[in-house]
Amino acid sequence: MSTLTARVDLPPSACSVPAARHFVHEVLQAWRAPQDDADVALLVTELVANVVDHVGGESVLSLDLEYSDGQLRVAVADGSAIRPVVGELRGDQPRGRGMQIVEAIADCWGVEDADGGKRVWFVIGPGDG
């Protein structure tokens, strides 16, 4: 099977969250990928929102999709070397559950160095997480 790839660069601002979801939705439809669109959109939202909330600034975030052998790999790269962590759930903090969601839904996820910053990625199989 061939590998399909798509990429978009976005500013690290709040408007990039819905833009990233829309981009992913359109690409998955064009590829006829069997992944659950809602799950992928939720995970993309979490990764892009992390960049907006914790990195911001002048850097650009890159959203990369790769589809091969039924597996979808999504990666979000930014200019910050600070890596995300899976935090503890605390009742007094209404936010901070993003990486827990990624860990719960994705088949696997990780972080790698990328051009002076980092790339956070996840892989999700067809129709499940």
> For 87-125, what is each residue's pLDDT tens digit?
665 555 555 567 788 888 999 999 999 888 899 999 999
**What pLDDT shows up at residue 60?**
84
**What pLDDT shows up at residue 93?**
55
- How many CA atoms, within 13 angstroms, populate the side-chain half-sphere of residue 12? 18
- Residue 67 has phi, psi (to 5 degrees) of -120, 125
Domains of the chain: 4-124 (3.30.565.10)
pTM of model > 0.95: no
Instruction: Round to whole Å and give the CA distance between 1 and 48.
Output: 29
**What pLDDT shows up at residue 8?**
97
pLDDT band at 129 (very low <50, low <70, confident <90, very high): very low
DSSP helix/strand/coil, 86 = coil
**What pLDDT shows up at residue 101?**
86
pLDDT at 42 over 80: yes
**What pLDDT shows up at residue 41?**
95
DSSP helix/strand/coil, 122 = strand
Q: What residues contact residue 123 under an 8 Å CB cut-off, 6+ apart? A: 71, 72, 73, 74, 106, 107, 108, 109
> For 52-94, what is each residue's pLDDT tens digit?
887 766 678 999 999 999 999 999 999 888 777 666 655 555 5
- How many CA atoms, within 13 angstroms, populate the side-chain half-sphere of residue 122? 25
Within its chain, how far is the Cα of 115 from the centroid?
18
